[in-house]
Amino acid sequence: MKITVRKATINDYESIIMLIDGEFTKEGFGFVNGAQVKTEIHRHNVWVAVDGNEVVGCRIGSNTLWNLVVSKARRGEGIGRQLVETAPPQTIRVKAIPVGHLSKAQREAFESPEAFYQALGYHLWGHDYPRNFWQRAGETAQYHAKGDVPHILIYRNPDTTLFGPEVSNG
C-alpha cells in the first residue's frame, strides 16, 4: 500500500503510543510520554505515516522536530524521509549518545540518527542538554529541567536561518 503522511488527530493517539512503546522506551531513547503526545496532537504538532489504517511512523514537532519513530519492520522504505519532508523543520534535536536509565541491551541497540539527518541535508549546528517535560492533570505539557549531559545534537536546515528562509543579498 501507499504510505500517507498527515497531521495526527486525537483518534491516532492510541496507535502512536503503541508504536512508540513497541519500538522504544521513553527513558532509554528519549521519547515523550503519553501526556506530551496528547498535548502535541492538540497543538497540531504531530504527523503520522499510515499504511491503510496502520500507523507505521510518527513525527512530533513542527518547526523543531523532537521525535521521529518508524516501525522497525518498515525501516528502509523512506517513511522517515516522508515524515521529515512533508513539512521540513527548521531545527532537529536528536539524542546522539545512549545515556540515562538504559539496560545493557538498550545501550547496545542504540543507533545514532546522525547519518539519517545528514542524508536529508541537515547540518550539525551544536550540542545541547536534554529538556524534560512535566504535566499536571488538566494542563498542557511544559518544559522544566535540563539534563546533566549534553547528549543532544541540534541540526539545522541549511535553507533557513533562525528568523526564516535565507535571504540572498546578491
Cell of 38: 496528547
C-alpha distances in Å from residue 131, one per residue of 26, 62, 91, 100:
13, 17, 15, 13
What whole-number distance in Å separates Cα of residue 139 and Cα of residue 131? 18
Pairing of strands 142-146, 131-134: antiparallel
pLDDT tens for residues 119-136? 999 988 887 766 655 545
Which is it for the CA torsion 109, 72, 68, 132, positive or negative?
negative
Q: What is the pTM of this model?
A: 0.77
Specify the pLDDT at position 30: 52
Cα three-residue angle 156-141-63, rounded to 5 degrees: 20
Domains, the chain: 3-165 (3.40.630.30)
pLDDT tens for residues 73-101? 998 999 999 999 999 999 888 877 766 66
What whole-number distance in Å separates Cα of residue 38 and Cα of residue 139? 11
pLDDT tens for residues 35-48? 788 989 999 999 99
pLDDT tens for residues 134-144? 545 555 555 54
Cell of 102: 538504559
Contact between 130 and 155 (Cβ < 8 Å): no
The residues with which 47 forms a beta bridge, in sequence order, are 7, 59
Specify the pLDDT at position 100: 65
